[in-house]
Chain A
Amino acid sequence: MSKQTPSQTAGPYFAYALTAQQYHYPNSQIADGTLAGEDAAGRIRIVGRVLDGAGAPIPDAMVEIWQADSAGRYGAEGFCGFGRQGTGTDPQGRFVFDTIKPGAATGHAPFLTLVVFMRGLLTHVYTRLYFSDEPAANAADPTLATVPPARRPTLVAERDGAAPGVLYRFDIRMQGEDETVFFDL
């Protein structure tokens, strides 16, 4: 039996390796924020920030998403389901994912898995993004049920009805009264 290799922080200088094209470096990156093209059925945009304990947007975080396709399948042909965005190229520190709304199993709400890396995080953290326009499914979701009710809203992305297209807003709060729920998975 071997022991796990410890995690270490991604630090402040990951961008030219992990998100090189987003940050306009000459080399390539393996995944970006576009999982679905403009003409994809069920396309959604997710916009958010990563906020520190003082409420300031963090400009050197990296957010990854992992999600099912519209039929609830993971890693199925035709949809990678993985995306990666740094928060350092937008003046307001936002990440943007263009993707599709995932399908869900019966009795479960649709969600995305998010992974957050940054300077100041010695181990990455996981959270989930649920959707505000799925109130019935969210109320029945067995994972949300494990979260104290007062903290559940931190996991729900708000649909912005005023924006063109289908836009959800989801800020990740690392600390504070509304600290986002992070999962040990």
Chain B
Amino acid sequence: MINAPVSQRDWSAHPPLIYPPYASTALRAPTKPLIPLAHGLAESSGPVFGHDRVGPLDHDLTQNGRRNGEPLGERIAVSGRILDEDGRPVRDTLIEIWQANAAGRYVHQVDQHAAPLDPNFLGAGRCVTNGEGVYKFYTIKPGAYPWRNHFNAWRPNHIHFSLFGATIASRLVTQMYFPGDPLLALDPIYLGAPEGARERLISRFSLDVAEPDFCLGYVFDIVLRGRSETPFEGGDR
């Protein structure tokens, strides 16, 4: 699908590539300046994954990994709107999420944290936004887990989000955090996002999203790049 070129990445919102407190950036993040690229057809288009690509339980992580019962932990609904910088809803766009279980353990084989796996929880899901840019997942509140970045390092509770938006340039992978988590102030990944921007990564507790006698609720709105003020440049394909 060809769309209007999107605005530039707002580097006042995004983490730097090299960020020494996050040790893995030292050998993995580029050190030379990025080269600006005017948007042509390649950058003004992107893949389309519509409602037909999503199964009936894909958005419900409390059900899509069941084998012999319900997953353990605190059941939550996570809902929000995907908007662009100009406030337009991003309709019919794919969201993929993944997360640890309630004990802080990922299904991923590389995760060897000595916390239990839950046979009824996979921790992966996807959905497509509706006509107003709204999405909703049901899941289990993820637990914190240790990592080796520094002594006694623990990741705050979080859910990974992957989004596409209008073009390949609006692609975003991010993490949603929970309000009041004391680990946020200690987490170099969260702190890698600039002050004044990182707060947008914290979801909001909402009784409107909670469902009586069923689950608590959190709201997490996401803003993708808007439309460029400069018209299509160069005709570069």
B110 touches A27 (CB 8 A): no
B197 touches A122 (CB 8 A): no
Chain B interface residue number, banded: 35 or more
Q: Is B141 an interface residue (CB 8 A)?
A: no
- Stretch from A16-24, A37-45, A90-98, A156-164 contacting the other chain: A16-24
B29 touches A121 (CB 8 A): yes
Given A147-B35, A185-B37, are A27 and B13 also a contact pair (CB < 8 Å)? no
Collect the chain B residues with CB atoms within 8 Å of residue A66's CB.
42, 45-47, 168
Q: Give residues 58-84 of B contacting A (CB, 8 Å).
A: 64, 83-84
Q: Is B136 an interface residue (CB 8 A)?
A: no
CA distance A176 to B110 in the complex (A): 28
Beta-carbon contacts of A5-18 to B below 8 Å, as 1s and 0s?
11111111111111
CA distance A20 to B64 in the complex (A): 14
When the two chains form the complex, which single residue of A52, A68, A117, A122 contacts B19, counting CB atoms closer than 8 Å?
A122
Beta-carbon contacts of B46-58 to A below 8 Å, as 1s and 0s?
1111000101000
Given A6-B198, A7-B14, A74-B45, are A146 and B126 also a contact pair (CB < 8 Å)? no
B47 touches A13 (CB 8 A): no
Q: Smallest Cβ distance from A95 to chain B, in angstroms?
A: 16
Interface size on A, residues (CB 8 A): 71
Collect the chain B residues with CB atoms within 8 Å of residue A124's CB.
171, 173
A6 touches B31 (CB 8 A): no
B41 touches A17 (CB 8 A): no
A118 touches B223 (CB 8 A): no
Q: Smallest Cβ distance from B118 to chain A, in angstroms?
A: 13
Q: Smallest Cβ distance from A79 to chain B, in angstroms?
A: 11
When the two chains form the complex, which single residue of B24, B30, B39, B162 contacts A185, counting CB atoms closer than 8 Å?
B39
Task: List 5 additional contacts besides A27-B122, A120-B27, A182-B32; criterion CB under 8 Å.
Answer: A14-B98, A26-B122, A30-B126, A68-B41, A183-B36
